[in-house]
Amino acid sequence: MSENRLEEAGQAKDPRQPVDPAAAEWPLWEVFVRSKAGLDHKHCGSLHATDARMAIQMARDVYTRRQEGSSVWVVRSDQIVASDPADKDMYFDPAEDKVYRHPTFYVLPKAVDHM
């Protein structure tokens, strides 16, 4: 009976197949914590959990022991899309020569220069 349940969960053990170590590890989640209302969520690290509910509970235990959390987000690490640091120049370079984005590009009379 228990073997059928394991099979349903995709965990049936076939002795001929090599065990894939990655399949046995709990998935990795990234944790973001907002310490106080008004602030952003900040990335504070990662943890392993089997599902979202466990991930949130563990995030509270691991990352907010000093009550530094009014809000916790967890995201499975494989769901995060990130820019490639190697492409840094390509993504961010064009912005560097658009000086008109900067306030100092505009010369104003002293009376209104506090803008």
Partner 1 sequence: MYTQAMDTMGKDDGDKPRALRSTDEMALQERFDARIDAGEFIEAKDWMPEHYRKTLVRQISQHAHSEIVGMLPEGNWISRAPTLKRKAILLAKVQDEGGHGLYLYAAAETLGTSRDQMIGALHAGKAKYSSIFNYPTLTWADVGAIGWLVDGAAIMNQVPICRCSYAPYARAMIRICREESFHQRQGFESLLTMMTHGTAAQKAMVQDAVDRWWWPSVMMFGPPDDQSPNSAQSMRWGIKRVSNDELRQKFIDAAVDQAKVLGVTLPDPDLKWNETRQAHDHGPIDWAEFWRVIGGDGPCNRERLAARIAAADEGAWVREAALAHARKRRPAEQAA
| Minimum CB distance to partner 1 smaller for 26 or for 108 | 26
- Backbone φ and ψ of 43, nearest 5°: -70, 130
Those residues whose C-beta lies under 8 Å from the C-beta of residue 38, and which sit 6 or more positions away, are none
Distance (Å) of CA 33 to CA 46, 60, 91: 11, 9, 27
Structure-block tokens of residue 72: 């916790």
Minimum CB separation from partner 1 for residue 47, in Å? 6
Minimum CB separation from partner 1 for residue 41, in Å? 15
* Binding flags for partner 1, 54-93, as an x/- string (CB under 8 A): x------xx--xx---------------x-xxx-------
Structure-block tokens of residue 88: 């840094």
**How open is the CA angle 88-91-96, to the nearest 5 degrees?**
95
User: For residue 71, what are the β-bridge partners?
Assistant: 34
| Minimum CB distance to partner 1 smaller for 26 or for 92 | 26
Among 24, 81, 95, 115, interactor with partner 1 by CB under 8 A: 24
By CB under 8 A, how many residues form the interface with partner 1? 28
Residues found near partner 1 in the complex (CB under 8 A): 5-6, 8-11, 21-22, 24-26, 28, 44-48, 50-51, 54, 61-62, 65-66, 82, 84-86
